[in-house]
Amino acid sequence: MGINKKRILVAMSGGIDSSVTAMLLKEQGYEIVGVTFVSWLAPDKNIEDADDVVRAKILAEKLGIPHYVLDLRKEFKNTVIKNFIDNYLAGVTPNPCVFCNPIIKWGRLLEKTDELNCELLATGHYAQIREEAGRFILSKGIDENKDQSYFLWKLNQEQLKRTIFPLGKYKKEEIRELAKKFDFEYLAQQKESQEICFIPDDDYRSFLKNNVKDIDKTFGQGNFISTDGRLLGKHKGLPFYTIGQRKGLEIAVGHPLYVVDINAEKNTITLGTKEDLLKHELFINEINLIKYKTLPEDVELNTKIRYRSKAILSKLTKTNDRVKITFSNDVSAITPGQSAVFYENEDLVGGGIIVKI
């Protein structure tokens, strides 16, 4: 999609990607407005002192663009964090970024786009959008290692229509060089940010303990069982385990064990071998299609079941309100709650949430 509008809202986190997005658009002559939305903040911090806000404000001043702060903490807590906690308590593993993008990030930022009389929203995502026959198609960013299209499969046509991704045609190294070229050397040295913004230490178990009252009592011990139903020991509570987990099980049987199933109704966790994690099919719901209005019958596409996994050739079949995905070869650790995202070459066709069979 070509940039043909004059006034663009840029979502600014203070990091290198969104900062270079603002620099590129300003250099190309567009009128830029910066917005930093705050979704999560440590209890001891003021919103104006939040790292993202401070960094973005400094950058906006240097670029000579207006900068606004959007406080979304309450909504974020009531939607994204609630969904995150509810999923873990139900024994499934959520993907909060996928859930956040359409309702918080795009939902609220596009409202702000209108409020500030901007026509388009720009973010620092590594992905691409183009228009074809009146449909807006999302495709992978050129940098395979940084492509973020996987997290964007829930965006709708109206949201894609009003979005641009200036970094989609760049590799990360080029973005670092651009930061230096624009005299923002410090940005080029920044470390990559973690995936989940509200879990800065990447320890979701501690987050659950701190945010769910009496979680240890409410979701107490249950049985570890083998794939043939034998009792292997006691687990510490369903929310603290995910499919494919190997570490922290504290069960010794003479060979490595992995979590292969979580049963919330029976409060049991099934442990098995690496081979027991292999499956060749899954079902998804909450399906959102981007490239096509309807899914072609028995179509073959490449499906990813997690952000860092390799896409595997698969056949997609509609079954009522679900889609069945059958893989050409076995995949490991299919995890309910995570996203299955399917591609046709570089184009994202759609996605859905993996459901427990």
Specify burial of residue 230 (Cβ count, 10 A radius: 0-12, 13-18, 19+): exposed
Query: Would you call 118 a catalytic residue per the annotation?
Result: no
Task: Give the residue from 127, 78, 128, 122 showing the smallest Cα distance to 99.
Answer: 78
Catalytic member of 9, 20, 100, 333: 100
Catalytic member of 89, 188, 197, 355: 197
For residue 201 the two structure tokens come to 């230490």
Alpha-carbon span 17 to 146, nearest angstrom:
11
Residue 351 sits at φ, ψ, to 5 deg, of -165, 175
Q: Where are the beta strands (DSSP E) in the chain?
A: 7-11, 31-38, 67-71, 120-122, 127-132, 135-140, 163-164, 222-226, 231-235, 258-263, 268-272, 278-289, 299-304, 312-319, 322-332, 339-344, 347-355
Instruction: Please state whether 49 falls in left (phi above 0), alpha (psi between -120 and 50) or beta.
Output: alpha
Alpha-carbon span 150 to 321, nearest angstrom:
22
Task: Give the residue from 318, 287, 303, 307 showing the smallest Cα distance to 154.
Answer: 287
Residue 314 sits at φ, ψ, to 5 deg, of -150, 160
Residue numbers annotated as active site: 100, 197
